[in-house]
Amino acid sequence: MTWDWSTEALARLGVFLRERAILEGTLSTQPIGDGRSNLTFLVRDHSQQVILRRPPPPPIPPGAHDVLREVTLLAALADSPVPVPTVLATARAGEVLDVDFYVMSYAVGPIITAITPEPFANPASRAALGYVLVDTLADLHQIDWRAAGLAEFGKPEGFNLRHVRRMRALIADSQGGIPAHFCPVQEWLTERVPAESAAAIVHNDFRIGNVIYKPDHPPRIQAVLDWELATLGDPLLDLGYLIASVPERGEALTPTGMFASAMLEEGYPSRFELAQHYVKRTGADLSTLNWYIVMALWKLAVLYEYGRRRAKDGNGDSYYADESLVSSFLEAAHRTAGLPVPEAVS
């Protein structure tokens, strides 16, 4: 966390929420979630609670952390098979804070990270938790995004190569070069870029820690969270990212694997089983799935390296300052691609 509420900002928020009949009276705020990008707060009055999302403090890279873009997507998905929070209010920079933000409904239920809570702490329920996660991803990818009014939300044509290049640019120096230990995987990806498997809404951070389950049986998802990276693109990138986030016994945990370590418990589907369930739901051809898994791991290494540099410069979250987080993703990317791990990584 790199920002907190001043007395004055909280007072302005109180007026904003009271005028819209959302909350009233004395407010309290609490940072929540394991996300490290946009900031998420639980805001309470004497009897109710809502969620507020805002960007991190400046400086912010151009085009990044557009929380009102999230609102566009949440509104488009409001009546879809994909459960999302309800947007209650939005504010432009200068109205209440020095940044845009939005307020949404609060969903009560477990977010599964390190341990599976009751009443799901048994093998059968854990299996259902995993498969309903894939069902929700399949539902997202089967939404008619044009009919949902999202035709201008992204450019699915050429998405895969453009995505590799965009990630590369995040860590390139002024001459366009990137650190040597990032190069082998980047070259592997560029040489093997598959044609887009389809065009769909992609979440870009879809993992078990970004959904809220309903607190009762049978296991169901009541809200998918953290839509800040969503766009139109290749749906297999979402599947590859999900698979890359699932830990497996005998393998070193990446940071996203740590956030999903509950999935090491008995009953959760394996990576292969999750992928096959996606095929049953969508009929997708997964012959190139390994490319998308490598892409997800390399992309995470890039994003963590970008975060590390910002933290080093005093402009970012100190969580990212640990270089071993970057190395963890890069090692996994090399191994998944069948490449030797450079000494600079290990």
Look up the CATH number of the domain holding residue 24. 3.30.200.20
Quick check: is 276 in a domain? yes
pLDDT in tens, 240-259: 999 999 999 999 999 999 99
The answer as to whether 297 is a domain residue is: yes
Provide the token pair at 144.
């008619």
Which of 70, 105, 140 is at the close of a domain?
A: 105
Distance separating alpha carbons of residues 259 and 253, to the nearest angstrom:
9
Q: What is the mean pLDDT of the chain?
A: 94
Query: Do 140 and 47 sit in the same domain of this protein?
Result: no
Domain endpoint, select from 45, 76, 105: 105
Instruction: Report which secondary-structure segment, H or E, holds 240.
Output: helix 235-245
Pairing of strands 231-233, 49-54: unpaired
Domain-located, residue 342: no
Res 103 pLDDT > 90: yes
The verdict on residue 2 lying in a domain is no
- 238 and 271 assigned to the same domain: yes
**269, 208 Cβ separation under 8 angstroms:** no
Tell me, yes or no, whether 144 and 170 share the same domain: yes
Are 98 and 228 part of one and the same domain? no
The pLDDT of 54-67, averaged and rounded, is: 73
Q: Can you give the pTM of this predicted structure? A: 0.93
pLDDT band at 37 (very low <50, low <70, confident <90, very high): confident
Same domain membership, residue 225 and residue 158:
yes
- 19-33, 92-106, 306-320, 325-339, range with the lowest pLDDT: 306-320
Q: Mark whether 61 and 141 lie in a shared domain.
A: no
- H-only helix segments in 283-314: 289-312
Q: Measured between alpha carbons, how far is 19 from 99 in angstroms, rounded to an integer?
A: 19
d(CA 108, CA 88) in angstroms, rounded, equals 16
How far from the centroid of its chain's Cα atoms is residue 286's Cα? 22
The answer to the question of residue 329 being in a domain is: yes
Q: What is the pLDDT of residue 1?
A: 46
Distance, in Å, from the CA atom of 77 to the CA atom of 335, rounded to the nearest integer, reads: 37
User: Are 141 and 36 members of one domain?
Assistant: no
Count up the domains in the chain and report the number: 2
**299 falls within a domain:** yes
d(CA 301, CA 40): 23
Q: Is 233 among the domain residues?
A: yes
CATH number at residue 154: 3.90.1200.10
Please indicate, yes or no, whether residues 151 and 258 belong to a single structural domain of this protein.
yes
Domain residue limits at 38: 7-105
Residue 206 sits in the same domain as residue 65:
no
pLDDT for 346 beyond 60: no
